[in-house]
A and B are shown apart, each in its own frame.
Chain A
Amino acid sequence: MDPYLEPKGRERERQRARQGPPGRGHPVFALLRALVILLFGILIVQLVRLQVVKGDDYARQSEINALREVQMPPARGLILDREGRPLVTNAARFSAAVVPGHLPDRGEVGVYRQLERLTGVTTDEIETKVAAGIEKNGRFEPVTIKADIDGDTALMLRELEPVTPGLELQVEPTRRYLEGPLLAHVLGYVGSISQDEYEELRDQGYLLQDYIGKTGIELTYESVLRGRPGKKLIEVDALGRELRVISERRALDGSNPVLTIDLDLQRKVKETLEEFTTDGDNAAAVVMDIRTGELLAMVSLPGFDNNVFSGPLSDEELAALVEGPGKPLLNHAIAERYAPGSTFKTIVGAAALQEGIASTGTTIVSRGYITVQNEYDPNVVYKYDDWAALGALDFYGGIAKSSDVYFYYLAGGKADEGFVGLGEARVAQYARAFGFGEPTGVDLPGESAGVVPDAQWKEETIDQPWTIGDTYNFGIGQGYLSATPLQLIAAVSAIGNGGTVLTPHLLREIQDSHGNVLQRFEKSVRRTVPVDQGYLDIVKEAMRQSVADGVAKGGAVPGVEVAGKTGTAEFGPQHVDGSYDTHGWYVGFAPYDDPEVAVVVFLQRGGGGSDAAPVGAQILDYYFHGPQLAQKPEETE
């Protein structure tokens, strides 16, 4: 006992010592038991809260943890020509990537070295890329080290992949266009879905990493080509590795559009057109089945190779395609409008016949020009030239010799001689009836509507009154009138096919991947022109004479009677000698008796008769006689 203890403390100490150590039933053991119950009670309360009250929530979270929905992309449909020849295939595009979270601890440099050896990307660069990738997307999102690696490198990576943690070979589908530049404008290309497209299409199940048709057939028939993505519900572990498939809906591959294009004819058209085109100039040619509107060939120059969009494309390369000479990306057959020149006389002629302005016997003398006095000042005289002093011409001669004076009369009349013309309103009315001034409805994106001018249009657009001179220019397809080559062929075809303006189209049918036809495209009549068959036949005969014995002689094809019309439209600034650059046009159809095919040729710089008509002739010759005759003209029967 401590002798220094205070008495009171000592007393208490004694009492405590007397009580002795706690024995059985001592309150301290009851307290211990209570503590057990209290602590376990706290645990049970929390367990009930987690497992009973919020159990369903946690159950759902554990399901989200373990299950992933994976999209399985369908194979994109193929595009075939009318003979069933494939124009595009699906290919793979390989990229080397690193998944940072799967790299071995402290062993990542080894993986980087192997990548450096295979791809040429230095270890330092890889480290930088991986660090940036982790910063941006976390550790389990693959970081692309090199895109578009070649097949051999990809093969080596494939072999390394299973034994090299963190290394990943990425395979993306891509399109390979077998004919490249030959059909680039028609087929278009695919590209990564843009943010705007994604916003619009996400409801249809598109993903941010999807590819989508950007232009051409790839865009128009995107829904046909795409197919339906499959879905797979898989169980994954904590690292995201697939363990087993719980349910699966197979992807439905895209369907195959069969085009109306004839690959051989397309090739011939392009070759011939290139022969007559200066580099950097625009040119276009279209061959159409005059009875159905099927487009057998459609060529626009300058061309480009749509395969470049399957690989990495620098801004400079893209700019060259968009802005370069001749704007290669534009399909000049549908996207740009030009003055159609004298080819438009066929429409004015038909209108004049129908409206009683002219008959086959209407004779007008061309002295090489006509003059018109100014309305307010008779001393001011305007002079409108013909291309030559062609003398007295009847209706057939007017078209066959392509007299401008003849059509000045028909369109604008000659007040001082008492000849009443159609007037600008009726010319415009017939132009529209033949489909000018509105898109043809072809199944390609980016079509221009063209312009059909009239007094009101001029007032609104350039704020000037319509003059008689405007009507004269209108009558010969110059001035404000503009059209695409496709509009022109659709319009002139109406003269050869009994008065129907057809919707030109590129789709012949849609087949499933086994070749069964799912849908066949029927011809679609856009307009029926308000011109009697008899009058159409007169214009047609005039066009025949134009080829047989007129200015379109260059359009003649041996053994086939062709009806055609040339056009040479002035454009751009006047040269020093007073001349202009001219567009060369030719539009025609054959055979004369029972027309089946029409052709239009447009050359940005050239003459209708001298350049465009021979192109048309070669195309039609190929169409009717095939390569044998075209290549061996000396062969006789």
Chain B
Amino acid sequence: MAFRAVRHFDYALLLLTGALVAYGALLIYSASLTAYPEGIVGLSHPVAKQALFALFGLAAMGIVAWMDYRVFRQMAPALYVLAILILVAVLVMGESAFGSRRWITIAGTQVQASEVAKLLTIVALARYLADQQHQITRVRVFLTSLALALLPAVLVMAEPDMGTAIIFGATWVGMVLVAGARPRHVLLLGGFLLAAIPFVTLAVLGDYQRERIALFFNPNSDPLGGGFNILQAEISVGSGGIFGKGLTEGSQTQLDFLQTPTTDYIFSVLGEELGLIGALVLLALFSALLFRAIRVASLARDQFGRLLATGIAIMILFQVFINIAVNIRLLPVTGIPLPLVSQGGSSLIMLFAAMGLLQSVLLRHRQIEF
């Protein structure tokens, strides 16, 4: 990579990423005070682990940014096969938690397969749509790209992990639209899906998903069981008010009323302890991050880079939206982490790698540099 290309490196994107990870670390610290009352005394503390993962992530980002993103275009079919393989592996030999299989152990480290598969699928989709750039309006291309996204989505849904499957879908829709597919096709598909909802509810959704949807509409039907999380998250966020109760001062968080407060429900911790102001700061950081990612897409010199950046932006956008919407009772419960903020190594390293891809696209956005 030419040295002069480094001036295109987006420091703002890096800073925003770092700021979100640091924001998350503060919240993880507060949310794990009950379990670790002494604070950070060893590497087993969630914040220490998260920091370590962030360092790995930074390294991954550096490597990916340094590599020419077009290398991934060449590798895309292999990466896609890898994604499908690990998703199948997790179903066959994965470890379960909260009623679903999501983790496989690779070299002693637990890896959340769907996190890795998300990024790999984006690369594969970007490659296919870029390849078919000139016949993008054709139904065959549209359906093939759909199949590419659908296969991992179905595997993820079988874990079951409805939330991540939805992310696959949303990312695909965004990418085909940006690629230039006919909006009519997307609308038709949307209409078809809408019509299929009753059948899907009956046939495809597992008991636990139906239960979750039922609880979303009436959490008081089981206030101490499945509805507990929904109600307590809502109470946490609401009780934070405008200014919040102060970091480490939230009674809901500190008294264990929230389940998984460092991961799926970390936004409830933020809502309670830092209030509306804290939430607006978070959304401002994410908006800026997403705008920088969209900027990368608009500057990309080829269709592959453009679609890659778009896919990453849309993936992050929908993860943020769905995660927060679940916390504030706009959507039924789906286990999706808040990107860069929630505790979790797989997700964090994947996102850093995605940032690396964005930088790589940006660094090479002009073929000729004078």
Chain A residues within CB distance 8 Å of chain B = 1-2, 12-13, 16-17, 21-26, 28-29, 32-33, 35-37, 39-40, 42-44, 46-48, 50-52, 54-59, 61-63, 65-66, 138-139, 235-239, 243
**Docked-complex contact A51 and B238, CB < 8 angstroms:** yes
**Docked-complex contact A63 and B135, CB < 8 angstroms:** no
- Distance from A23 Cβ to chain B, minimum over Cβ atoms (Å): 7
**Docked-complex contact B294 and A47, CB < 8 angstroms:** no
Residues of A near B174 (CB, < 8 A) are: 32
**Docked-complex contact A47 and B276, CB < 8 angstroms:** yes
Closest chain A residue to B328, Cβ basis: A46
**Docked-complex contact B271 and A47, CB < 8 angstroms:** yes
**Docked-complex contact A51 and B313, CB < 8 angstroms:** no
Residues of B near A238 (CB, < 8 A) are: 232, 255-257
**Docked-complex contact A51 and B271, CB < 8 angstroms:** yes
> Closest 8 A-B residue pairs measured CB to CB?
A58-B238, A62-B239, A55-B241, A50-B238, A66-B251, A58-B239, A238-B256, A24-B298
- Which of A13, A22, A58, A239 is within 8 Å of B235, CB to CB? A58
A56 to B241, CA, bound (A): 7
Task: Knowing A46-B328, A47-B271, A66-B255 are in contact, say whether A28-B287 is a contact too (CB < 8 A).
Answer: no
Segment 188-242 of B: residues with Cβ below 8 Å from A? 224, 232, 234-242
**Docked-complex contact A55 and B324, CB < 8 angstroms:** no
- Distance from A136 Cβ to chain B, minimum over Cβ atoms (Å): 15
Residues of A near B148 (CB, < 8 A) are: none
**Docked-complex contact B180 and A36, CB < 8 angstroms:** no
Task: Knowing A28-B178, A36-B290, A47-B279 are in contact, say whether A55-B310 is a contact too (CB < 8 A).
Answer: no
Q: Is B291 an interface residue (CB 8 A)?
A: yes
**Docked-complex contact B177 and A28, CB < 8 angstroms:** yes
Task: Knowing A13-B134, A58-B234 are in contact, say whether A39-B317 is a contact too (CB < 8 A).
Answer: yes
**Docked-complex contact A65 and B255, CB < 8 angstroms:** yes
- Which of B275, B294, B302 is within 8 Å of A32, CB to CB? B294
- Distance from B323 Cβ to chain A, minimum over Cβ atoms (Å): 10
**Docked-complex contact B235 and A42, CB < 8 angstroms:** no
**Docked-complex contact A59 and B238, CB < 8 angstroms:** yes
**Docked-complex contact B283 and A43, CB < 8 angstroms:** yes
**Docked-complex contact A32 and B252, CB < 8 angstroms:** no
Closest chain A residue to B255, Cβ basis: A237
Closest chain A residue to B177, Cβ basis: A28
A65 to B251, CA, bound (A): 9
- Which of A22, A46, A51, A58 is within 8 Å of B178, CB to CB? A22
- Which of B255, B271, B283 is within 8 Å of A44, CB to CB? B283
A189 to B44, CA, bound (A): 60
A57 to B241, CA, bound (A): 10
Residues of A near B328 (CB, < 8 A) are: 43, 46-47, 50
The interface bits of chain B over 265-284 (1 if a CB of A lies within 8 angstroms of the residue's CB, else 0) are 00000011001100110010
Which of A17, A28, A56 lies at the interface centre, i.e. has the most chain B CB atoms within 10 A of its CB? A28
Residues of A near B299 (CB, < 8 A) are: 24
Q: A24-B299, A37-B287, A57-B238 known; 8 other A-B pairs, CB under 8 Å? A: A2-B138, A29-B297, A43-B325, A43-B330, A51-B240, A55-B241, A237-B257, A243-B255
**Docked-complex contact A40 and B303, CB < 8 angstroms:** no
Q: Is B133 an interface residue (CB 8 A)?
A: yes
- Which of A2, A39, A47, A48 is within 8 Å of B321, CB to CB? A39
- Which of B235, B283, B298 is within 8 Å of A61, CB to CB? B235
**Docked-complex contact B242 and A51, CB < 8 angstroms:** yes
Q: How large is the interface on B (under 10, 10 to 19, 20 to 34, 35 or more residues)?
A: 35 or more
A22 to B303, CA, bound (A): 8
Q: Is B53 an interface residue (CB 8 A)?
A: no
Q: Is B286 an interface residue (CB 8 A)?
A: yes
Task: Knowing A35-B317, A40-B286 are in contact, say whether A54-B298 is a contact too (CB < 8 A).
Answer: no
Q: List 23 A-B contacts (CB under 8 A).
A: A12-B137, A16-B137, A21-B133, A21-B306, A23-B298, A32-B310, A32-B314, A33-B294, A36-B290, A40-B283, A43-B321, A46-B330, A50-B328, A51-B237, A58-B238, A59-B239, A62-B235, A62-B236, A62-B272, A65-B235, A139-B224, A237-B34, A237-B257
Which of A23, A46, A51 lies at the interface centre, i.e. has the most chain B CB atoms within 10 A of its CB? A51
- Distance from A26 Cβ to chain B, minimum over Cβ atoms (Å): 7
Closest chain A residue to B140, Cβ basis: A2
**Docked-complex contact B241 and A17, CB < 8 angstroms:** no
Task: Knowing A16-B137, A28-B177 are in contact, say whether A235-B255 is a contact too (CB < 8 A).
Answer: yes
Task: Knowing A43-B325, A46-B328, A62-B236 are in contact, say whether A22-B306 is a contact too (CB < 8 A).
Answer: yes
**Docked-complex contact A29 and B298, CB < 8 angstroms:** yes
- Distance from A42 Cβ to chain B, minimum over Cβ atoms (Å): 7
- Distance from B272 Cβ to chain A, minimum over Cβ atoms (Å): 8
- Which of B239, B297, B303 is within 8 Å of A55, CB to CB? B239
A25 to B297, CA, bound (A): 10
- Which of A43, A52, A243 is within 8 Å of B324, CB to CB? A43
A243 to B251, CA, bound (A): 12
Closest chain B residue to A21, Cβ basis: B303
Residues of A near B137 (CB, < 8 A) are: 12-13, 16
- Which of B242, B256, B298 is within 8 Å of A25, CB to CB? B298
- Distance from A103 Cβ to chain B, minimum over Cβ atoms (Å): 16
Segment 127-175 of B: residues with Cβ below 8 Å from A? 133-138, 174
A39 to B180, CA, bound (A): 22
A12 to B177, CA, bound (A): 17
**Docked-complex contact A237 and B306, CB < 8 angstroms:** no
Closest chain B residue to A65, Cβ basis: B257
**Docked-complex contact B252 and A62, CB < 8 angstroms:** yes
A17 to B138, CA, bound (A): 13
- Distance from B249 Cβ to chain A, minimum over Cβ atoms (Å): 12
Residues of A near B232 (CB, < 8 A) are: 65, 238
A28 to B300, CA, bound (A): 14
Closest chain B residue to A61, Cβ basis: B235
- Which of A35, A51, A61, A139 is within 8 Å of B241, CB to CB? A51
- Distance from A51 Cβ to chain B, minimum over Cβ atoms (Å): 5
Segment 313-344 of B: residues with Cβ below 8 Å from A? 313-314, 317, 321, 324-325, 328-330
Residues of B near A57 (CB, < 8 A) are: 238
Residues of B near A65 (CB, < 8 A) are: 232, 235, 251-252, 255, 257
Residues of A near B34 (CB, < 8 A) are: 237
- Which of B235, B283, B294 is within 8 Å of A29, CB to CB? B294
Residues of A near B240 (CB, < 8 A) are: 51, 55
A236 to B254, CA, bound (A): 10
